[in-house]
């Protein structure tokens, strides 16, 4: 099954041309944001629009076929953030410098950890974006 161009455009519009996980904007990335299967095909997911979101290459690669991870605080198996069903601000916030993503809930913490949302390159890039006024997202 393939995803039509019309569906791809609607997904881009739904997620405001940003990664649904780390909120990186397409206009600041050198790679095209990818269509991500929230529930991966390998885990029974479909190409239905309600199972699709936008993801940057970094978040998408780290997510891979994962749907759950271990919450670093409670050590419990926890589902990853679902950008179609969950509100970003309910699960995450920016630190005081707007560079590091802080997980507020078990889902948020697990997603930050599993997708390595605060890896060294992400922190450096966000720091540079902050310095020129491109970050954090409004």
pLDDT in tens, 93-123: 999 999 999 999 999 999 999 999 999 999 9
Give domain status of residue 138, yes or no.
no
Give domain status of residue 98, yes or no.
yes
Predicted model pTM: 0.96
| Total tally of structural domains belonging to the chain | 1
Give domain status of residue 10, yes or no.
yes
Domain of residue 20, residue span: 5-131
Q: How many CA atoms lie within 13 A of 48 on its CB side?
A: 7
Give domain status of residue 137, yes or no.
no
Give domain status of residue 114, yes or no.
yes
């Amino acid at each position: 099954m393939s995803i039509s161009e019309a569906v791809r455009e609607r997904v881009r519009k739904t997620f405001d041309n940003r990664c649904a996980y780390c909120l990186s904007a397409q206009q600041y990335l050198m790679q095209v944001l990818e269509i991500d299967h929230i529930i991966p095909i390998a885990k029974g997911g479909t190409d239905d629009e309600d199972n699709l979101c936008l993801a940057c290459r970094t978040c998408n690669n780290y997510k891979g076929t994962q749907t759950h991870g271990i919450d670093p605080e409670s050590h419990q198996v926890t589902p990853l953030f679902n950008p179609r069903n969950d509100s970003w601000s309910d699960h995450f916030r920016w630190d005081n410098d707007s560079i590091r993503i802080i997980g507020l809930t078990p889902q948020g913490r697990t997603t930050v950890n599993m997708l390595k949302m605060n890896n060294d390159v992400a922190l450096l890039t966000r720091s540079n974006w902050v310095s020129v006024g491109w970050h954090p997202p409004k």
